[in-house]
C-alpha cells in the first residue's frame, strides 16, 4: 500500500494528476484509514499504469474511461481501436498534404532572389 506521493513518484506523474483522474472518475478514490490519507494497492496502481499507456497511444481520458468500462469485451475494444486507427490515418493524410504544401513554399523561397519579396507571404495574400 502506497501513499499518493510515493505512487506519483513511481509513475512519474504529479499527485495532482492522480487526484484529477480520480475526480474525472477514471479511478475510484481508495479507501482511506483514520488519518484520511489515500492508500493505493496494486490493482489501483495497475489501473493508473493502464491509463498512462493508453494515453501514450493517443487515447483521450474520455476514451480511456470507456475502454476501462468495456471490461475486456474484445469486440468492443477492437472497435474502439479501429476507430482510433481511422482517425490516425486521416490525421496522417492531412499532415502529408500540409507537408507537401509547405515544402513547395519553402522551396520557392530557396529559389527566390529578392529577400524582400517572399513567395510564401505572396501566396498567402
Sequence-separated (6 or more) residues with CB below 8 Å from residue 114: none
Q: Site residues for DNA, window 22-81 (CB under 7 A)?
A: 29, 32, 34-38, 55, 60-62
Residue 52 CB neighbour total at 10 angstroms:
15
Task: Count CB-CB contacts under 10 A for residue 18.
Answer: 22
117: phi then psi, degrees, rounded to nearest 5: -125, 115
Which residue lies nearer to a copy of itself by CB, 15 or 52? 52
Positions touching a copy of itself (CB under 8 A) are 46, 49-50, 53-54, 57-58, 67, 70, 72-75, 77-78, 81-82, 84-85, 88-89, 91-92, 95-96, 98-99, 101-103, 105-106, 109-110, 112, 114-121, 124-125
Amino acid at each position: 500500500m502506497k501513499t499518493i506521493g510515493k505512487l506519483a513518484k513511481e509513475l512519474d506523474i504529479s499527485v495532482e494528476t492522480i487526484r484529477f483522474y480520480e475526480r474525472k472518475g477514471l479511478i475510484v478514490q481508495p479507501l482511506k484509514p483514520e488519518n484520511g490519507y489515500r492508500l493505493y494497492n496494486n490493482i489501483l496502481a495497475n489501473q493508473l499504469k493502464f491509463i498512462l499507456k493508453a494515453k501514450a497511444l493517443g487515447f483521450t481520458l474520455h476514451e480511456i474511461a470507456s475502454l476501462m468500462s468495456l471490461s475486456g469485451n474484445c469486440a468492443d475494444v477492437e472497435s474502439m481501436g479501429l476507430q482510433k486507427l481511422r482517425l490516425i490515418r486521416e490525421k496522417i493524410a492531412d499532415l502529408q498534404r500540409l507537408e507537401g504544401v509547405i515544402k513547395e513554399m519553402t522551396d520557392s523561397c530557396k529559389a527566390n532572389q529578392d529577400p524582400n519579396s517572399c513567395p510564401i507571404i505572396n501566396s498567402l495574400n
